[in-house]
Amino acid sequence: MAGLAALTAAGSIAEPAERSEPRRPSIVLVIADDLGYGDLGCYGCPDIRTPVIDKLASQGVRFTSFYANGPECTPTRAALMTGRYQQRIGGLECAIGTGNVGRYDDAIRLAEKHELGLPVDEKSIARMLKDAGYATGLCGKWHLGYEPKFSPLKHGFDHFFGVLGGTADYFHHTEPQGDPMLYLNDKPVQREGYLTDLITQEGVGFIKRHRIVGFFLDVSYTAPHSPYQRPGDKKDKPVPQADWDVGTREDYAAMTEHMDKGVGEILAALEEAGVADNTVVIFISDNGGTDKGRNAPFSGNKGGLFEGGIRVPCIVRWPGVMPAGAESNHLAITMDLTASIARIAGVSPPENRPFDGVDILRQIERERIPSERRLFWRARRGERTWRAVRKGSLKYITRKDGDKLDEFLFDLDLDPQEKTNLLSDRKPDAESLKHPLANWESEVQCQR
């Protein structure tokens, strides 16, 4: 099933019935790190067992045309926090390097000024919900700035436990250079245990503490991001920097399966707290998989704008509101979830920073056929810049590396693996996408 037909087959969804408790729903957002589109059983994965997430999909809506805002961690997370294209912020179009390193000219400039991160005046969804009375927690990965002024606590989270940067040794909780990176609120902390388990435990504890009030919980796992360490495989010393990306598909699978187990504990905590029926649960990945991941049926990997780098799994469960067991091919992107969460919580962005995302969940709740839209991407690292736009089934991509420029045009309905470049055969179609891409790039450009 796909799109509106899938939603209709799942049953007509009326406006939510009046509840005995008029509380606004709580929201649990679970983010996997570098999980490929095809790395879950419910997305056709043959070699990784994910029974919990698969069951979640059977209880809610599974998106098949959902995109990350960027092909790396930081850009997508910036868009998720603000509901806006990350290009509007400046410096966050590439993952912040370990140790607070900028990886392209604008990010390097901001790092030198100690300004590389998500500014507080970019009002986050956590701040919006906190101001509306929600308890707010982040358990896991932040990756939106190392400086104290960019801390999750400055952005509206009441509670933070996790890593400030993009990655950490799963047992020693250090970055590749060996620096400790585990924090509790705004202080470094030492804990024994596998990082995936520690994140899960903190999430479960947050639910137990805040079950009486509405809450927003962001569970940002670092799994299955490198280093590729299976649970129970602790060594005396952290993984050396030179071996950080060394691992096998089997290691990656074990990490993903353990994350699935953690998601099960989070869902069980909602049941035990008696709030599962009034909680929206969202599961996504921040970008496509690496060479250890499975992005099938698409080509490309994390870091690039072919489908495998940005097409990601997305599952939403909202009992009594979202149809169960449905599949949606609505064209959607990470920042759409921000707009949906805001509407669910009854909050709005600042007037001077309207959302770029659309309320995708409202469209599905009301079985609306979405209006045609364009989605845009730009990703930078070093001397390489990717740009892309999708409208309907057409997708135009440029990849500039130094002085070399490559251009591509694909029809994703006919060629989802992006094997046949139609640029020379369909130049008018390419031109029809080039101009909106250039206009978008000019409109969102930011200089801090």
Tens digit of pLDDT at every position of the chain (448 positions):
344 334 433 333 333 333 334 479 999 999 999 999 999 999 999 999 999 999 999 999 999 999 999 999 999 999 999 999 999 999 999 999 999 999 999 999 999 999 999 999 999 999 999 999 999 999 999 999 999 999 999 999 999 999 999 999 999 999 999 999 999 999 999 999 999 999 999 999 999 999 988 999 999 999 999 999 999 999 999 999 999 999 999 999 999 999 999 999 999 999 999 999 999 999 999 999 999 999 999 999 999 999 999 999 999 999 999 999 999 999 999 999 999 999 999 999 999 999 999 999 999 988 777 778 999 999 999 999 999 999 999 999 999 999 999 999 999 999 999 999 999 999 999 999 999 999 999 999 887 8
Which CATH architecture does the domain made up of 23-373 adopt? 3-Layer(aba) Sandwich (3.40)
Question: How far is the C-alpha of 267 from the C-alpha of 281, rounded, in Å?
Answer: 9
pLDDT of 100 reads: 95
Question: How far is the C-alpha of 158 from the C-alpha of 213, rounded, in Å?
Answer: 13
CA dihedral 233, 77, 338, 363 (to 10 degrees): -80
Active site residues: 73, 143
Residue 301: other Cβ atoms inside 10 A? 20
- Whose tokens are 């730009």? That residue is 378
Q: Where in the chain is the domain with CATH 3.40.720.10?
A: 23-373
pLDDT of 447 reads: 74
* Contact assessment for residue 304 and residue 75, using Cβ atoms and an 8 Å cutoff: no
* Contact assessment for residue 80 and residue 289, using Cβ atoms and an 8 Å cutoff: no
Count the alpha carbons within 13 Å of 160 in the hemisphere toward its beta carbon. Answer: 23
pTM: 0.94
The neighbouring-strand residues paired with 52 are: none
What are the b/e assignments for 159-194, b being 16+ CB within 10 Å? bbbbbbbbbbbbbbbbbbeeebbbbeeeeeeeeeeb
Count the alpha carbons within 13 Å of 236 in the hemisphere toward its beta carbon. Answer: 0
* Contact assessment for residue 45 and residue 224, using Cβ atoms and an 8 Å cutoff: no
Please give the order of strands across the beta sheet that includes 159-163.
Answer: 187-188, 182-184, 159-163, 135-141, 215-220, 26-32, 279-285, 314-317, 61-63, 326-328
pLDDT of 86 reads: 98
Question: How far is the C-alpha of 122 from the C-alpha of 142, rounded, in Å?
Answer: 15
Question: How far is the C-alpha of 27 from the C-alpha of 136, rounded, in Å?
Answer: 10
Question: How far is the C-alpha of 134 from the C-alpha of 127, rounded, in Å?
Answer: 9
pLDDT of 367 reads: 79
pLDDT of 1 reads: 37
Q: Where in the chain is the domain with CATH 3.30.1120.10?
A: 375-444
pLDDT of 366 reads: 84
Judged by DSSP in three states, 174 sits in: strand
pLDDT of 19 reads: 35
Question: How far is the C-alpha of 181 from the C-alpha of 174, rounded, in Å?
Answer: 5
Count the alpha carbons within 13 Å of 282 in the hemisphere toward its beta carbon. Answer: 28
* Contact assessment for residue 405 and residue 386, using Cβ atoms and an 8 Å cutoff: no
Query: Which amino acid, residue 354?
Result: P
Which CATH architecture does the domain made up of 375-444 adopt? 2-Layer Sandwich (3.30)
CA 25 to chain centre: 21
Residue 376 Ramachandran class (φ > 0 left, ψ -120 to 50 alpha, else beta): beta
